[in-house]
A and B are shown apart, each in its own frame.
Chain A
Amino acid sequence: MDDTLLLVHTEADGSLAKIAREALGAARSLGGSLTIGLVGGDAQAAAGSLGGCGAARFLGASGEMFRQPRYATDAAAAEALCRASGAQLILAPATSRWARVLPGVALRLGGRVDTHATRVFPSEGAPAIARWYYRQRMEAVLLRPQRPWIVLLEAGCHPAWTGAPASAALENVPVDLPEGAIRTTVNGLRAPQAEEQTIRPEADLLFVAGAGWTKKQSDGATHADDAERLILEFLRRTQASLGGSKSLVDLSGEGQAVLRCMTHLNQVGQTGATPRHPKGLSTCCHGEEPHVVGWRFIGERRAVNLDPNCGWARGKADVLYIADAFEVLRRINALLGEKTQATRA
């Protein structure tokens, strides 16, 4: 098996994201020699958190200039770590930060890169990867003879490594940055124009809202405000992530009642995101493939719908509740509220 380098970067608070630990879990499953390459403001602290993972070496590009994601510094750091490790296989979590730079790094190294991998495993004595094509419609397993081979591994595809921290001897790798290379300043993050944060990639539950929430209800009127209140309360209480069907997102362009908490960034499905969560609950969703592709990587799926033949549910969900989602969510929120009060008491 090839020697493997796992590239990870620290988050704004200096920690490592769950996706980084998932990639570590995948890298360890390959066998062979493993090196960890860390990029960030304080790589030593992050190395300690992975100290017990059994890696042969810990390499770091550490310092203020690597604290924030920026192409010029991240590409130089990744290139330096790859060269210092001499690894033939380079794994990295598919964060926006690595996705921005690693294809360029592959060119610098004269190697190859594959993005959106969902599995990496030994095959015929060499690493193989699986990834999806045609908007998550078919899965292929592929091998490459070229080295180094950089693979970006998607979130939620492998159990995260959960070992204990231990001391790790970090080797600082010098990074060669041309003079005047830093022309970009990162000024932080901006949340979308929604009342609150509703996209939580690491949530255990994906809550998908469909257009049915904005349609006329049994009393002949629409209740989009109620729907929004119920959904936001549910999200606050469960810390679930919010997804929207394309039809619901499209409504905003038709002048119909819409959920203000829903932006097109929440959209799941063929033309939206295909998030990975252990569980998913769809409510008031309608439509067939390709929109149901948004469900593809959800582990356990349940649906609440008044239509027993809904394409999101029948054959796609494990359990379909034929019921009014307004009523069900109202009751769930009430039960969650009681549970919170009982815990406080």
Chain B
Amino acid sequence: MSADQHHQKKVKTTNEEREAQRQRSIKKLAEYKGLCSLVSAKRKAKEYDDAAFNLTTKLLSLNPEFYTMWNFRRQIILDRRTRMDTEAYQALCLSELQLADAALKINPKSYWVWNHRRWILENMPEAAWTRELKLLGRMLDMDARNFHGWGYRRYVIAASGARSPKEEFDFTTEKISQNFSNYSAWHYRSKVLVQAFADPAERAKVIDNEFELVRNAIYTEPADQSAWLYQRWLLSLVPQDMDRWSKELESVQELVEIEPESKCKVIMQGQG
């Protein structure tokens, strides 16, 4: 908000202004179309020059969903690599990550952009994992249920080994406490739990806590499926533990008494 709040225009949008707006859109569209045909021509001619590279930058900033252009861009990058020293190539890759950052701001669920990031990281001399983790933290803060973000996180952690399974387990605890209606977080939790707690005694203790956690989620919001799924997965870890199974059944029965109409009754019958 500008500080100059006083001299606000009082006029409403007039017809002339609306027309001017329309003309601007038409102009914009023509520019975009012109750009598309220019880049396509370059691609068909296999011209991997600077002009082609700059045109793809411009085009992809306007429309990150144009996946053919990401492919063309990678062809140009590979071509350039042959003529570059490692340092310059590393710098080029970093600037590619910045371009992808900007594109994700426009659409955080774009397959092509996530794919481009991954390709860059796999093809750059020194993969910038710390930068990626920072970005991922911010992305999941903004939208904790972006499954692209979660999938990519698993990839980055596996490829970089930057964080231990225990740290990742704690990360899911944080995200679940912010919003437990989150399939991605529960799913990731199940993956890292097994890695983080290998010792049987320790794992048994953790699993006890997990049953308690999931019970809290279920009692808070029985209609939310994600917690029920996690409970089912937990039970699959202890198929022979009859005490545990009957304890869980009891808890569900108690819930059905408070909520006779809820769907969890069906779940109980299914599990029983």
Q: Is chain B found bound to chain A in the same assembly?
A: no
What is B's interface to A at a CB cutoff of 8 Å? none
What is A's interface to B at a CB cutoff of 8 Å? none
